[in-house]
Amino acid sequence: MGRLFGTDGVRGVANADLTAELALGLSVAAAHVLAEAGTFEGHRPVAVVGRDPRASGEFLEAAVVAGLASAGVDVRRVGVLPTPAVAYLTGALGADLGVMLSASHNAMPDNGIKFFARGGHKLADELEDRIEETYHAHAAGEPWDRPTGAGVGRVTTYDQGFDNYVAHLIGVLPNRLDGLKVVIDGAHGAAARVSPEAFARAGAEVITIGTEPDGLNINDGCGSTHLAKLRAAVVEHGADLGVAHDGDADRCLAVDAIGAEVDGDQILAVLALAMRDAGGLRKDTVVATVMSNLGFKLAMEREGLSLVQTAVGDRYVLEEMKRSGFALGGEQSGHVIVLDHATTGDGTLTGLMLAARVAATGRSLADLAGVMERLPQILINVPDVDKSRVTTSPEVRIAVTDAERELGATGRVLLRPSGTEPLVRVMVEAADIEQARSVAGRLADVVKSALG
């Protein structure tokens, strides 16, 4: 039986992989595991439950709420809100557990369950493992110890979550956005109301697209994975910039006034300098993954800032930030974590801070993003190879050494085995696109012949 929990909760096709029975069972298991861990000791437990607008979120939310209440947990239903809003409210309301139902940037048929611990932080891996073990044990027939009478959980709707979260976002902004015209693409997702409201309250003139969710259109040709509509709208309306979120709004990508994409690396670069200038970039260090463009690393070096790189995945970025006390980190995908103001990636906060830097400096987003030059990056997937030997093969090691020597200081080679498929990803960056393409092609050939 495969593991239920992935790097970002439990995810799958709703009503096929992710059923009401699974959602209910996992919620009961989570309540029991946290109770055994002492999280609920001395008080009546409380959970915050939110979701994105997917149609399947309606029945999955009902299952999660039923599971938690049946296990003696009082539930505060906050409705459709971004993942970072549920994390924030879990902390702000002093709840013992947060649950978000979303499949982020995935297509509409998918959905997912993500648990937050007290304070709005990601649930520890060992607790996820115990929840999964407990769920399987009881699915096999082991009976639950169930409360009765006054011991069952009570369910209420918490209507103030929207305003509380927006007020939090406005409260942490370094300056207002008066005079800026911003286009927001809400991906017909969880930020469809939140992001436009926050930008408007901060003083921006707001134009919206992708802000009419109907439960079926989330991420459909819009949002951070489909920027064409945002580009066109920014140019059409003569806006200063545009921001795009994904379905649960933990990510943000942007476009400048002429519709050119500003990716997560560039956003990180702009925010790093803003936080440094404000004295908020602890240890003058930014955390990113090994997939960040070499141009980002060179820009940080040029600005006298340090870069710590982790394995691919926002969870690894966050772990390093918390372990070493860093304030800013993120990924190329636009998953940016500002740890002083959020416990997870927050797309609305990221967009607001980016716009705030434009407003404060009077410089265009294109000018600010120009602090780094994105070097050409070629990625080739080499399928049907023994990915376990990618670090031990002498032929591959020699080919990588030769490639690195050829590229010098302005190029980079990264060979990464896929986490889910029998393939190796060959990534090459160079100042010249043709050189990058040539080196990547040669390396891919070596990987295929040596590991095939």
| pLDDT tens digits for range 213-241 | 999 999 999 999 999 999 999 999 999 99
Burial-class residue 355 by CB neighbours within 10 Å (0-12, 13-18, 19+): buried
Pick from 249, 450, 209: nearest CA to 344: 249
Mean pLDDT, range 54-67, rounded to an integer: 98
Kind plus residue range of the DSSP H or E element containing 272: helix 264-277
Mean pLDDT, range 278-296, rounded to an integer: 95
User: What is the bridge-based pairing of β-strands 241-245 and 252-255?
Assistant: antiparallel
Name the domain count of the chain.
3
| One domain, residues 181 and 320 | yes
DSSP H helices in 303-432: 314-324, 347-361, 365-369, 394-407
Of the CA atoms within 13 Å of residue 325, those in its CB half-sphere come to 4
Of 343, 369, 395, which marks where a domain is finished? 369
Q: What is the CATH number of the domain that holds 397?
A: 3.30.310.50
What residues form the annotated binding site?
104, 246, 248, 250
Q: Average per-residue pLDDT in the chain? A: 95
Of 369, 385, 405, which marks where a domain is finished? 369
Show Cβ contacts of residue 392 under 8 Å, excluding neighbours closer than 6 positions: none
- Residue 194: pLDDT band (50, 70, 90) is very high
| One domain, residues 55 and 180 | no
**pTM to 2 decimal places:** 0.92
pLDDT at 405: 93
Mean pLDDT, range 35-43, rounded to an integer: 92
What residues form the annotated binding site for Mg(2+)?
104, 246, 248, 250
Domain boundaries, position 232: 163-369
pLDDT of residue 1 exceeding 70? no
Calpha distance 186→251 (Å, rounded): 11
| One domain, residues 177 and 322 | yes
- Residue 420: pLDDT band (50, 70, 90) is low
Pick from 87, 96, 75: nearest CA to 114: 87
| One domain, residues 111 and 143 | yes
Mark 137-173 as b/e (b = at least 16 C-beta within 10 Å): eeeeeeeeeeeeeeeebebeebeebbebbbebbbeeb
Is residue 364 part of the annotated active site? The answer reads no
Calpha distance 184→348 (Å, rounded): 10
| One domain, residues 113 and 183 | no
Calpha distance 450→240 (Å, rounded): 50
pLDDT at 16: 96
Mean pLDDT, range 420-433, rounded to an integer: 88
Mean pLDDT, range 41-49, rounded to an integer: 95
- Residue 378: pLDDT band (50, 70, 90) is very high
Mean pLDDT, range 199-226, rounded to an integer: 98
Choosing from 27, 102, 104, 333, the catalytic residue is 104
Q: Tell me if residue 94 falls in helix, strand or coil.
A: coil
What percent of the chain is modeled with pLDDT above 90?
A: 89
Q: What is the CATH number of the domain that holds 127?
A: 3.40.120.10
| pLDDT tens digits for range 119-131 | 999 998 899 999 9
- Residue 139: pLDDT band (50, 70, 90) is confident
Separate counts of helices (H) and strands (E) for the chain: 14, 19
Mean pLDDT, range 128-146, rounded to an integer: 92
